[in-house]
């Protein structure tokens, strides 16, 4: 048996592939374009492992994707590939529409073409799992109830609008063509291999370099944080037992304002790697706010718990301690990401400049 994973060299995708192969022997075909966010070094421990087939390519390349379906005959697709950073989407929305909307459309069409040729039993068992975000629901007032699966879509950034569009396409491919799709809408992840453009890893690497810790606006924006390993276990659970056509919200029951997150990271670094110059919180610097910044996200994850028995295993306290420790233990990974050296792999492997 084989699954096709897209975006498996990114933050969540690489955690998912590593966890998957640590738990069973089902082959993973990993299709990733290796944009700046794709880092093959995340998968270094799988070198020489026949269960992992890495393919560099675009989800929008229908010839390639059709060929992958025909050759590997996957029983499921787990679709992570996306442009994922809100700030980048504000500066350049085009790539977000190209990958998140057009790319998802192309992948759905290739999956539908393959699925429609399968014998009845395999057709019924096939799954297209779309990995999405809580940002599609927009921003919550301070006392509003958390997002349920029936919350209206009100995306506010080019990123969240492009993800919302992809969710709608996935839904339509189920309702119109009967493709057995599953969608998960997850809150903010954190953990190993998180690219240091996002809040938590940026704060860790900047603090260690004694650089300012840029907090947007007043820092009172609220996110609901989930350890990445828990997101991966939620996806495995939904893939195994979720009902086709359903969406499941995934979250950590961990609503926290950004400024509190930054203080927690600083306190852990003070404990684990004290700086003789003084507490890391001295580096906190309030900067101009993100345009259109959503004030609060919160996930109501009762459906996935009630129907599928999933709950996060990590508390925020255990997950953030593991995460800070991981960054301290992987200084070379951080250095190679910061210097751009991780992209040398493209040159070595493909003989091209990326
Ligand atoms: P990421 O940016 O770290 O990784 C994205 C991966 O997709 C990279 O490896 C990149 O090379 C690949 N990719 C980009 N465009 C591609 C294309 N056209 N074809 C093939 N591969 C392509 O993202 P992430 O944080 O790991 O997020 C993964 C998915 O999970 C995304 O769909 C995102 O919307 C969703 N999500 C993320 C979070 C979060 O907190 N990071 C939370 C909820 C949902
Ligand atoms: O909610 C799920 C989403 O979480 C995912 O869909 C996205 O792919 C993922 O990037 C993440 O989006 P956010 O915009 O919430 O994550 P980010 O880490 O960029 O920012 C988290 C919060 O911290 C947000 O309120 C903005 C703020 N922030 C971020 C950065 C990078 C700062 O205050 N300073 C910063 O330098």
What is the full DSSP assignment across 23-72? H---EEEEEE---TT--GGGGGGGTT-TTEEEEE--TT-HHHHHHHHHHH
Share above pLDDT 90 across residues of the chain, in percent, rounded to a whole number: 96
Instruction: Tell me, in angstroms, the distance from the centre of ligand 2 to residue 344's CA.
Output: 28
Instruction: Tell me, in angstroms, the distance from the centre of ligand 2 to residue 259's CA.
Output: 12
Cα gap 59→61, rounded to integer Å: 6
Judging by DSSP bridges, how do beta strands 27-32 and 76-79 pair with one another?
unpaired
pTM (2 d.p.): 0.98
> 105-148, pLDDT tens digit by residue?
999 999 999 999 999 999 999 999 999 999 999 999 999 999 99
Does residue 286 surpass a pLDDT of 50? yes
| Sequence-ordered list of residues with C-beta below 8 angstroms from that of 113, at least 6 positions apart, any chain | 66, 69
> 183-204, pLDDT tens digit by residue?
999 999 999 999 999 999 999 9
**Residues 347, 354 contacting (CB under 8 angstroms):** yes
What does the pLDDT read at residue 354?
43
- Estimate to the nearest angstrom the gap between the alpha carbon of 85 and the chain centroid: 10
Q: Measured in Å, how far apart are the chain's first and last C-alpha atoms? A: 33
Question: Can 159 be counted among the known catalytic residues?
Answer: yes
What does the pLDDT read at residue 184?
99
Does residue 353 surpass a pLDDT of 60? no
Question: Can 224 be counted among the known catalytic residues?
Answer: no
**Is 99 near ligand 1, meaning CB less than 6 Å away?**
yes
Map residue 284 onto helix, strand or coil.
strand
List, in sequence order, every beta strand (DSSP E) within 207-316: 213-216, 222-227, 247-250, 255-257, 284-287
């Amino acid at each position: 048996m084989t699954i096709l994973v897209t975006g498996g060299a990114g933050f969540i995708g690489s955690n998912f592939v590593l966890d998957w192969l640590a738990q069973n022997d089902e082959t993973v075909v990993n299709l990733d374009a290796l944009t700046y966010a794709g880092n093959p070094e995340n998968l270094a421990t799988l070198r020489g492992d026949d269960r992992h087939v890495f393919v560099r390519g675009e989800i929008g390349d229908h010839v390639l994707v059709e060929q992958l379906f025909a050759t590997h005959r996957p029983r499921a697709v787990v679709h992570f590939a996306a442009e994922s950073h809100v700030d980048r989407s504000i500066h350049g929305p085009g790539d977000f529409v190209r990958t998140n909307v057009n790319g998802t459309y192309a992948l759905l069409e290739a999956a539908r073409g393959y699925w429609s040729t399968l014998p009845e039993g395999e057709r019924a068992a096939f799954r297209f799992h779309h990995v999405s975000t809580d940002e599609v629901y927009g921003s919550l007032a301070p006392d509003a109830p958390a997002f349920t699966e029936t919350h209206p879509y009100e995306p506010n950034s080019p990123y969240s609008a492009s993800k919302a569009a992809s969710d709608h396409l996935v839904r339509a491919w189920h309702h119109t063509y009967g493709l057995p799709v599953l969608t998960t809408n997850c809150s903010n992840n954190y953990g190993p291999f998180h690219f240091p453009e996002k809040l938590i890893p940026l704060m860790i690497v900047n603090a260690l370099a004694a650089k300012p810790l840029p907090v947007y606006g007043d820092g009172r924006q609220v996110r609901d944080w989930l350890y990445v390993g828990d997101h991966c276990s939620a996806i495995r659970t939904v893939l195994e037992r979720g009902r086709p056509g359903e969406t499941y919200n995934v979250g950590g029951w961990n609503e926290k304002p950004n400024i509190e997150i930054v203080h927690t990271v600083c306190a852990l670094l003070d404990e684990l790697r004290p700086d003789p110059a003084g507490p890391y919180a001295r580096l906190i610097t309030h900067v101009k706010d993100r345009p259109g910044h959503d004030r609060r996200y919160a996930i109501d994850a009762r459906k996935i718990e009630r129907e599928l028995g999933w709950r996060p295993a990590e508390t925020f306290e255990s997950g953030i301690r593991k995460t800070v420790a991981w960054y301290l233990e992987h200084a070379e990974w951080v250095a190679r990401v910061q210097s751009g050296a991780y992209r040398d792999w493209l040159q070595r492997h493909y003989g091209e400049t990326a």
